[in-house]
Amino acid sequence: GSTPTPVATVSQYACKRRTTTQNNNKIFTDAFEVLAESYEFNEIEGRCLAFRRAASVLKSLPWAVQRLEATQDLPCLGGHTKAVIQEILQYGRSFEVEKILSNERYQTLKLFTSVFGVGVKTAEKWYRRGLRSFRDILAEPSIHLTRMQQFGFLHYGDISRAVSEAEARALGNIIDEAVRAITPDAVLALTGGFRRGKEFGHDVDYLLTTPELGKEEALLLSVIDRLKHQSILLYCDYQASTLDMDQLPCRRFEAMDHFAKCFLILRLEAGQVEGDLQRVEGDSRSWRAVRVDLVSPPIDHYAFALLGWSGSRQFERDLRRFARLERKMLLDNHALYDLTKKEFLEAKTEKDIFAHLGLEYIEPWQRNA
Ligand code: ATP
Ligand code: MN
Ligand code: MN
């Protein structure tokens, strides 16, 4: 007799899927992301997450969806997502998505939240006050901009433009040089999208620490100071560490972590970049502004911080959800806590964390969920 061919089932958890940067279903996932964002703007969290999950499932497929029947055995696709897929298969576009894209409120919130330091809450407040453009905001005397927002507007053209791999590498050299000059045996690691092999990003993310526990915060401050003296620090929002291990198991495991960190805008010279800067046509300046995040976890939290800052956001969400629902464990950027054994599980590497969770190791370039 014939044995049925085993069909690989796709997991509902992004941390059990391998998702490279090659997206075979971009036409669908772009549509889902517009819908997710629109629900986020309207604070309908459940639906927002549903579309983000659906997009993530389609991103993991090594094949393109060509018929609705092909999605039959896939997880996280409900009636609404399938209707959108069907619309796109039939007409090449989704009318629901087009309606959102032409909606004034959506367009305005999208524009406002594209400014560094402006979240959905602020964008919405400005929209409700009748403001529709940057000019409206900057001309409104009663609006108080935070320092971050002021610099967001000041460097808007540069930091809303994608950062290339070559630019990320050039920044890596600058930061590496600064770190080595201060502490030769410091640990510096690229995280975020560029660690996952993305060609472009909205910023460059680094983890920075010292082999000696407790010296990491001073290192970060020294690096900032050095960048300042080199006149390449255009903006710095420094946040001191608020880490307190004593409160850990009781405290809610959270998205925001407690490590010392800084959100920077750095000045990158064209001469430092192999090739050239990403620039708009006609721009002849010799430099551009780039957003950089530096995070300094103590060395004993390094593996958790690296895993947490490597993303993607959806991959992180599902790691935590998987840990909680399938393993009765709490995972965040600091630690992994086993609720059954009532103890913290130590980890030196990301592999240790996957092993504790009983998950196959997923390489960073397979975490583009
Ligand atoms: P992009 O190319 O758009 O920068 P990215 O994946 O690098 O993509 P980031 O916003 O830079 O996105 O975030 C990288 C990772 O760091 C995310 O997975 C997120 O979970 C984590 N992260 C970002 N900001 C914080 C924060 N303030 N606290 C804790 N974790 C954060
Ligand atoms: Mn990033
Ligand atoms: Mn970042």
Model confidence over 36-78: pLDDT tens digits?
A: 999 999 999 999 999 999 999 999 999 999 999 999 999 999 9
71: which DSSP letter?
A: G
84 has a pLDDT exceeding 70: yes
Residue nearest to atom 26 of ligand 1 (CA): 256
- Is the predicted pLDDT of residue 250 greater than 50, yes or no? no
- The answer to the question of whether 318 is labelled as a binding residue is no
Residue 252 has pLDDT above 70, yes or no: no
Q: What is the reported pLDDT for 249?
A: 47
Catalytic residue among 225, 237, 293, 352: 293
In order of their start, the domains of the chain are: 14-100 (1.10.150.110), 105-149 (1.10.150.20), 163-304 (3.30.460.10), 306-366 (3.30.210.10)
What is the edge-to-edge ordering of all strands in the sheet holding 343-344? Answer: 329-331, 336-338, 343-344
Pocket around ligand 1 at a 6 A CB cut-off: 192-193, 198, 201-203, 205, 256-257, 308-309, 311-313, 316, 333
Closest C-alpha to ligand 1, atom 11: 192
pLDDT tens digits for range 277-293: 888 788 889 999 999 99
Residue 289 and residue 158 in contact, taking contact as beta carbons nearer than 8 Å: yes
**pLDDT > 70 in the chain, percent:** 95
Quick one: which H or E segment has residue 209? strand 204-209
For residue 192, which atom of ligand 1 is closest to its CA? 7
* Torsions phi, psi for 303 (to 5 deg): -60, -40
Least confident range of 188-197, 255-264, 300-309, 342-351: 255-264
Residue 326 region, left (φ>0) first, then alpha (ψ -120 to 50), else beta?
Answer: alpha
**Residue range 174-191, pLDDT digits in tens:** 999 999 999 999 999 999
pLDDT band at 254; cut points 50, 70, 90: low
